[in-house]
Amino acid sequence: LGLDKLDFAVLCSLALAVLAYFSKSKIQELLSSDDAIKVNSDSRDVVQVLRENNKNYLVLYGSQTGTAEDYAKKFGKEMAAKFSLNVMCADVENYDLENLNDLPSNVIVSLFISTYGEGDFPDGAIPFEDFLTARESGDLSNVKYTLFGLGNSTYEFFNGAAKRVEKYMNEAGATRVGPFGEADDGAGTTDEDFLTWKDSVMEELKDQLGLDEHEQVFEPSFEYKQISQGVSNEISLGEPTAQYMPNNKIEFSPEGKQVGPFDATHPYVAPITATRELFSSGDRNCIHAEFDLSGSNIKYTTGDHLAIWPSNPDEKIAKFLECFDLDADTVFSLVPRDSTVKLPFPVPTTIGAAVRHYLEITGPVSRQFIASLVQFAPKEDLKVELTELSRDRDFFAKEVTVKYLDLADALLHISHGAKWGSVPWNFLVESVPRLQPRYYSISSSSLTEKQVVHVTAVVENFPNPSLDDHQPVTGVTTNLLRNLQLAQNKEDIQKTTLPVHFSLEGPRGLFKGYKLPVHVRRSTFRLPSNTNTPVIMIGPGTGVAPFRGFVRERVKLLEKQPNTTLGKHLLFYGSRNTSDFLYQEEWPDYSKKLGDSFEMIVAHSRLENKSKVYVQDKLIERKDEIYDLVKNKGAFIYVCGDAKGMAQSVHAAFVKILSEGSEISTDDATAILKAMKPGGRYQEDVW
Ligand code: FAD
C-alpha cells in the first residue's frame, strides 16, 4: 500500500485513540449515577411504571434510617426467589400513588412503614400520609395490601405510623391480606417479628395468588459485569456519591468549599477540626468531635442531629473478603435490569471499595439471610446445617445470636473455617444491606458555634462472652471516631490496644486531613422560645449531648442580651462515677454565667461503697419543686439518651410526681404527660 513510517505511526495512534475512546465510553456507559432515590422512568405513576416493567408484585416502603427499606427489600427478594414473581420494590417517596386503586387485580401491595419520633411517618413518607388522609371511603376498594410496621415499644406511639396506615387503608376500603405485623426494636425482636409475620403472610399470599413455592433461586435485579480494565477516574473507590468522583467535578465556592445542597442523599465531607477523648475508663471511651460546616451552606439548629457516614474497619473487611474468597481489586459494574431498580451505590467500583464503604458487613446476622444462602452452600452437609439454622429459631439463637457473630463470623463458624467462595458476589451486593449513616445528637449550640457541630459519642465495644479472649464486639462509627481522634492528636497509643483499625484517608484521599461525610437531620427537640419558661432536662451519659447545646445557647443569649430573664433550668445528669462525668470541667463555668437560673443535679450509679443513684431517683428527691415547675409554671421537660431503661423510668418518675402532687390516679397523670407532648412540653430524643 506504500505506507511510509509516518503514515503508519499516525494510523497506529489513531487506532489506539479509537480503542481508548471505546473502552472509556464503555466504562462511561456502565458508570451510572449512584442516586439511589432517582427514578429512571419518566413517569412517577406507580401503576404505570409497574405495568411498563411487567411487574406483578408491588412492595412499597417508608424508611427513616434504612431498616424498613432493608426489610422491604428482603421480603421482595424472597417473593421473587421463592415464587418467581416479578417484584417492584420502591420507596413511597419516589412515586405518585394517585392511581393505586387501578393496580391490576392480581397485584398485591406489601407496605413496610417505620415510625419515627412521636409516632410520625418517616420524612420521605409524609406525602404518603397526606395521600392516605385525602382518601375517601371506597377510594382504595380494589387495593389488597399486606402491612408490616417497624417500631419500638419503648416509645409511646409504638408503630404509630403503621397503625395510621392501617386505619386509613381500612377507611378507604382497601383489604388487608394476612396479619398486621409489628416489629419491636425495643424488645430487640425486629428480626424474629419479621420472620413470624412473613411466614404467615406468605402462606396467605400463596393461597390468594395461587403461587407455587420452590426452593429459593436468586433472581438478580442487576446485570453484573466484571470489568477487566484497571482503576481509572471512572471507577468509584468508595466515594460517598457520584458527585465526588474525579470526573464529576462538584462545584466549589470562591473560598474553595464544596457547594451543596447537601442532604441525606448527598453528604458534605466535613473537616473535623478538633477531637478529644472525654473519658477513658477501663474498656470504655467517649469521644468529642467537632465538624466544621462553614462554606457548605448547611444550617443547623441547637437540638438537631448529625448523621455520620462511616466506613468499615480493616479487620472486618479482611475477614469478609476471606470468607467469600473475594479479590478486593476486582472492578465490577451493575446495570439495573429495569427502570424500577435503583443502583445501591456508585458503580463501576471495586469489590474492596464496596466492602469498605458501601456494605453493612458487621452487626447481627439474620435467620432469613442464612435461609437465602442455602442455595449457595458449598457442600451438602453445610446445606443441611444452614437449613436447620434457618428453620430453628432456638438453634440459631444458640449458635449465632448469643455468640455475637456477624455474617462472615457465622459462616466461618458453621464451616469450621472453610471458605464460602460458592456464594456469588452479585448476590452479596444485592443482599447485604447498604452501610447506613449513624445519628448523633448535636452537643453544640448554633448560637455559639454557627458553623461548627459538636458530637459526643461513646465508643461501642463490649466483651464477647463467647470468645475465650473476650475480644470486644465493636461498633463501626464510634470506633472510627476513636481511631480518628487518636490519629489526629498523634497519641502514642500502641495500635494493638485498638480492637479495630480504619483507613482514614478515604477514597482517593477524599477524607485526608481528618474529614468524614456528614449530613444534618432536623429534629423537633427545641428549647421553648420564651426564655422565662422553666426547663427540666434529663440526660444521663451521652444523653447530655443536646443539653450541653441548650445550656451553651442560654449562656450565649445572656452574653448577647444581658437583660434577658431566664426561667429555672434544671439539668439532671447521670454517670457511673466521677471518671466518666462528661464535660466535667465545663459545667462550673456555665453555672457561673447563668447564676441562679441554672442548676445541675448529678446522680452516680457506681460510686464505691455507695448505693446506686439514677436520674429518676434525683427527680423524685426534688419532687415538690418539679411538681411546682410542671404544674404551675409551665415547665418544658426534655429527656435524652437510652430509650429502653432510662426514658421509661424517667417517665414513671414524672407520673409519680404528678399523681402524688395532684392526688390523681397514675392513669390521669399519664394522660396529662401525653397531652403535654404535642405542644412540645414533654420532648424525648432517645435511642
Ligand atoms: P454499630 O456498628 O451500629 O453497632 C451497634 C451495636 O451493635 C454496637 O454496640 C456493637 O457493639 C453491636 N454489634 C456489633 N456487631 C454485633 C453482632 N454481631 N451482634 C450483636 N451486636 C453487635 N450515640 C452517642 O454516643 N451519642 C449521641 O449523642 C447519640 N445520639 C443519637 C441520636 C439519635 C437520634 C439516634 C437514633 C442515635 C443516637 N446515638 C448516639 C446512637 C448512635 O447513632 C449509634 O447507634 C451508636 O454510636 C453506635 O454506632 P456504631 O456505628 O459505633 O455501632
Question: Among the residues of 307-392, which ranges form H helices?
Answer: 314-323, 351-353, 367-373, 380-391
On whether both 548 and 510 belong to a single domain, the answer is: no
Domain termination site, one of 410, 431, 452: 431
**Helix or strand run (H / E) with residue 430:** helix 425-431
Q: Which domain holds residue 20?
A: 1-28
DSSP secondary structure letter of residue 257: P
Q: What is the CATH number of the domain that holds 417?
A: 1.20.990.10
Which residues make Cβ contacts (< 8 Å) with residue 451, sequence separation at least 6?
292, 293, 294, 295
On whether both 190 and 330 belong to a single domain, the answer is: no
Domain termination site, one of 490, 521, 552: 521
Three-state SS letters, 606-659: CCCCCCCCCHHHHHHHCHHHHHHHHHCCCCEEEEEECCCCHHHHHHHHHHHHHH
Task: Note whether residue 527 is domain-resident.
Answer: no
User: For residues 521 and 241, what is the distance between their CA atoms, to the nearest angstrom?
Assistant: 18
In angstroms, what is the span from residue 564 Cα to ligand 1's centroid? 39
Beta carbon of 615 within 6 Å of any ligand 1 atom: no
Task: Note whether residue 252 is domain-resident.
Answer: no
pLDDT at 28: 43
The Cα-based distances of 472 to 285, 480, 668 in angstroms read 13, 15, 45
β-pairing, 109-114 vs 144-151, is parallel
* Interaxial angle between packed helices 314-323 and 407-414, expressed in degrees from 0 to 180 and rounded to the nearest 10: 40
On whether both 355 and 411 belong to a single domain, the answer is: yes
Beta carbon of 366 within 6 Å of any ligand 1 atom: no
Beta carbon of 378 within 6 Å of any ligand 1 atom: no
The Cα-based distances of 569 to 339, 420, 595 in angstroms read 54, 58, 10
Domain termination site, one of 431, 460, 494: 431
On whether both 81 and 163 belong to a single domain, the answer is: yes
DSSP secondary structure letter of residue 120: B
Task: Note whether residue 261 is domain-resident.
Answer: no
Residue 277, strand partner residues? 287
Instruction: Look at ligand 1, atom 44, and give the residue with the nearest C-alpha.
Output: 438
Under a CB-based contact definition with an 8 Å cutoff, are residues 151 and 184 in contact? Answer: yes
DSSP secondary structure letter of residue 356: I
User: For residues 294 and 8, what is the distance between their CA atoms, to the nearest angstrom?
Assistant: 56
pLDDT at 87: 97
Please report the beta strands in 282-320, taking only residues with DSSP state E, as ranges in sequence order: 284-292, 305-308
Task: Note whether residue 255 is domain-resident.
Answer: no
On whether both 375 and 304 belong to a single domain, the answer is: no
Report the chain's C-alpha Rg in angstroms.
27
On whether both 276 and 380 belong to a single domain, the answer is: no
Atom number in ligand 1 closest to CA 462: 11
Under a CB-based contact definition with an 8 Å cutoff, are residues 182 and 153 in contact? Answer: no
Cell numbers for 540, please give them. Answer: 444521663
Q: What is the CATH number of the domain that holds 508?
A: 2.40.30.10
On whether both 625 and 547 belong to a single domain, the answer is: yes
Please report the beta strands in 167-254, taking only residues with DSSP state E, as ranges in sequence order: 175-184, 222-227
pLDDT at 230: 83
On whether both 100 and 174 belong to a single domain, the answer is: yes
On whether both 370 and 478 belong to a single domain, the answer is: no
Instruction: Look at ligand 1, atom 10, and give the residue with the nearest C-alpha.
Output: 475
Task: Note whether residue 565 is domain-resident.
Answer: yes
Nearest CA among 141, 202, 205, 129 for reference residue 175: 141
Beta carbon of 158 within 6 Å of any ligand 1 atom: no
On whether both 126 and 96 belong to a single domain, the answer is: yes
Instruction: Look at ligand 1, atom 4, and give the residue with the nearest C-alpha.
Output: 475
DSSP secondary structure letter of residue 358: I
On whether both 643 and 500 belong to a single domain, the answer is: no
Neighbours of 678 (CB within 10 A): 9
Please report the beta strands in 63-138, taking only residues with DSSP state E, as ranges in sequence order: 87-91, 109-114
Task: Note whether residue 33 is domain-resident.
Answer: no
User: For residues 464 and 472, what is the distance between their CA atoms, to the nearest angstrom?
Assistant: 5
Neighbours of 273 (CB within 10 A): 13
Q: Say whether 309 sits in a helix, a strand or coil.
A: coil
Residue whose entry in the numeric block shows the C-alpha cell 419515627: 116
Task: Note whether residue 41 is domain-resident.
Answer: no
Q: Cα angle vertex 271, ends 268, 275, to 5°?
A: 130
Give the mean pLDDT per block of 10 residues along the chain (687 residues). 46 47 44 38 88 97 94 96 97 96 97 92 95 96 98 90 98 98 94 96 97 96 93 95 83 66 93 96 92 94 98 98 98 95 95 98 96 97 98 96 96 97 98 96 97 97 88 96 95 73 96 98 95 98 98 98 97 96 98 98 95 98 98 98 93 98 98 94 94
User: For residues 297 and 300, what is the distance between their CA atoms, to the nearest angstrom?
Assistant: 10
* Total domains present in the chain: 5
Atom number in ligand 1 closest to CA 461: 11
In angstroms, what is the span from residue 84 Cα to ligand 1's centroid? 37
Beta carbon of 473 within 6 Å of any ligand 1 atom: yes
User: For residues 599 and 527, what is the distance between their CA atoms, to the nearest angstrom?
Assistant: 16
In angstroms, what is the span from residue 437 Cα to ligand 1's centroid? 10
User: For residues 683 and 536, what is the distance between their CA atoms, to the nearest angstrom?
Assistant: 10
Cell numbers for 572, please give them. Answer: 439532671
Q: What is the CATH number of the domain that holds 662?
A: 3.40.50.80
On whether both 174 and 318 belong to a single domain, the answer is: no
**Helix or strand run (H / E) with residue 515:** strand 515-521
Atom number in ligand 1 closest to CA 521: 34
Q: Say whether 355 sits in a helix, a strand or coil.
A: helix
In angstroms, what is the span from residue 456 Cα to ligand 1's centroid? 12
Under a CB-based contact definition with an 8 Å cutoff, are residues 460 and 481 in contact? Answer: no
User: For residues 129 and 190, what is the distance between their CA atoms, to the nearest angstrom?
Assistant: 23
Backbone phi and psi for residue 486, each to the nearest 5 degrees, phi listed first? -65, -40
Task: Note whether residue 296 is domain-resident.
Answer: yes
